[in-house]
Amino acid sequence: MKKSFIVMGLMLAASALTNCSKDDTAATDASDLRQGFTLRAEYTPIASDTRTTLDPATGKVAWDAEDELLVFCRETGTEPASWEQYKFTTTEEAAAQGIFTCPDIAIDPAKSYDWYIMSPYSSYVKNPLGESNSGTFQIGNQTQDNAAPTAHLTNADLMTGVITGVAGDRQPVVTLAHRATLMKFTIVNKETEAITPATVEFEAPSNVLVGGRFAVDFATGVLTADTKWTSTKLTIENAPAIEPNGTYDIYMMMPPFTLASGDKFNITVTTDKGISEQSRTMIQEVKFEAGKMNTATIDVTLPKPEEASYTLLTDISELTVGSKIIIANLEAGKALGAQRSNNREGAAVTISGGNLIENPAATVSVLTVGQGTTNTGYFTLNDGDGYLYAAGSSKNYLKIENKVTVNSEWEITIAADGIATIKATGSNNRNWMRFNSDSDLFSCYRSGQKDVYIFKKN
C-alpha cells in the first residue's frame, strides 16, 4: 500500500546538469551551487497499488513513461510566501526502474530542507498544507476506457509523502502513502441476451462523501472537501458486450469513507438494453480505507416491460379515478415518456389498429389518474415521481410537482374520435397538453401542435 520515492542528490554544479539547469554558467560561489535531484520510485506488487499500470490478474504495478510527480521544497524553518511547483517526469527508458527526470531546484548543501511529494502531478494544488488556499485535487467522476481499463486510475490514485529537516548534502528518502480507496466492481450479466454497460453510478447516504474536490495535507493525508459529492459516476468507453452470465470489471477511486450499519446506498448501471437500479443496506459498519482495494459484485437484471394492454378512450365517462393511462399521439406513434428538464420525451410505441397499445416499453410513462382537490370534476396525473403540471405562462413547460395545485389539476374532454383535450386549470396559461412533432416531445402550449389521445389499461 506504499511506495518509496528516493530523492538522491547528485552533488553537481548547474553547468553539468544539461537536463536540469536553466543556463550553462559554472557556479563560482559554493552557496550558489545547484544540486540536481532524481526521484526513484520503488513499488511493491500489492493489488491495491494502482500507480500506474495495474495488472488485475497479478496485482502487480509498474510506472509508465511520462508519469509525473508534483514536488514542493522549502528551507526548513521557513514559511514561503508562495510555493513553487516542480514537476518530475519519467521517460520510457527509465520507467522500468522508476527513475524521474528533474527540474531545476537550487539547493544549498549547508542548509536543511523539507520535501513534499504528490502523485499524480496536478497544477491545481498550490501548496502541500491542506488549507483553504492550497488548491484542490479531484477524486471521482472518471472515465474508464476498455482499451486500457485501469489507466484512468493514474489520475485519481492520490499519494503523498513528506520528509523534513534533510541536510542539503544528504539523501532525502520519502515514502508516499495512498490517500484514496479503490473500488473494484464486477458486473455480472443476469439477462438472457448480451448487454453493453455505459455508466455505473454509486450513490451514498446524504452525509457520506464519495467524491469531490479536496485540499490535501501531504503530511497527514487529511482531505478537506471544497466540492462535495455524495454520488460518483464512472463512464465506460468502448465497453465490450457482456454475454449472459459473463462478467466485466470496473474500477473507481473514491476518498476514504465509512458506511454505518443500516446505511443504504444505491448502484445504477446504465446499459444499451436498459437501466438496472438496486439499493443495498449495510448490515454492519464497513470502513473503506485509503490504500485498500474493495471488491463487490453487481448482478445486472433489467426491468421487464409490463405485459398489459391499453385501449383508446372515446368517452370521458370511461376515465375514472385510479385508472392507469398512456397519453400518445397516433400519427407519430409516440407516447408521453420520461421527464426532461421542462417537458416530456416522446417514447416510441406501437398502436395496433389505431386503438390498442400492447406491452409498452419501459420508456413509456404510465400515469395514475387522481381526483382534483379544488374541483372534484378535475383530474390529476401522477407518473410515480410527482403530479404533471403546466409550469409556465411565457414558456411551453410541462413538469412535475410533489403536491397538487391548480396548475396540476386538469380539465379533460374526449371526442368521439378519441381526440383528448387536456388543459390545466391554474393561472399558467400555456396549459394545453400537446405533442410537438418537430421536437419529438410532449409539453403545454397556448395553441398549435398535434393532438393527443388517452389509452386506458384494460
- Residues 173 and 217 placed together within one structural domain of the fold: no
70: domain CATH number is: 2.60.40
- Give percent above pLDDT 70 in the chain: 84
End position of a domain, from candidates 266, 300, 334: 300
pLDDT at 52: 53
pLDDT at 45: 36
**Which one-letter amino acid corresponds to residue 310?**
Y
Residue with cell 470502513: 287
pLDDT at 452 over 60: yes
pLDDT at 387 over 70: yes
Most confident residue range from 47-56, 240-249, 273-282: 240-249
Predicted confidence band at 58 (pLDDT cuts at 50, 70, 90)?
Answer: low
Secondary structure of residue 361 in the 3-state scheme: coil
- Residues 208 and 279 placed together within one structural domain of the fold: yes
Residue with cell 395514475: 368
Strand 356-358 and strand 351-352: the pairing is antiparallel
Q: Which residue has the higher pLDDT, 268 or 98?
A: 268
Return mean pLDDT, the chain.
85
pLDDT at 28 over 50: no
Q: Which of 381, 379, 382, 383 is nearest to 364 (CA)?
A: 383
Around Cβ 251, how many Cβ atoms within 10 Å?
22
- Residues 224 and 161 placed together within one structural domain of the fold: no
Predicted confidence band at 13 (pLDDT cuts at 50, 70, 90)?
Answer: very low
pLDDT at 178: 84
Residues with Cβ within 8 Å of 296's Cβ and at least 6 positions away in sequence, in order, are 183, 184, 185, 186
Torsion, Cα 27 28 32 37, to 10 degrees, reads 40
pLDDT at 27: 27
Q: Which of 365, 409, 366 is nearest to 387 (CA)?
A: 409
Domain extent at residue 41: 35-134+156-178
Report yes or no on 378 lying in a domain: yes
Q: Which of 451, 267, 442, 278 is nearest to 364 (CA)?
A: 442
Report yes or no on 25 lying in a domain: no
Predicted confidence band at 57 (pLDDT cuts at 50, 70, 90)?
Answer: low
Burial (Cβ within 10 Å: 0-12, 13-18, ≥19) of residue 78: exposed
pLDDT at 177: 81
pTM, two decimal places: 0.64
Report yes or no on 345 lying in a domain: yes
Could you give phi then psi for residue 95, rounded to 5 degrees? -60, -40
375: domain CATH number is: 2.80.10.50
Q: Which of 3-12, 178-187, 420-429 has the least mean pLDDT?
A: 3-12
Predicted confidence band at 43 (pLDDT cuts at 50, 70, 90)?
Answer: very low
Number of domains in the chain: 3
- Residues 255 and 213 placed together within one structural domain of the fold: yes
pLDDT at 388 over 70: yes
Q: Which of 150-159, 420-429, 449-458 has the least mean pLDDT?
A: 150-159
Q: Which residue has the higher pLDDT, 71 or 312?
A: 312
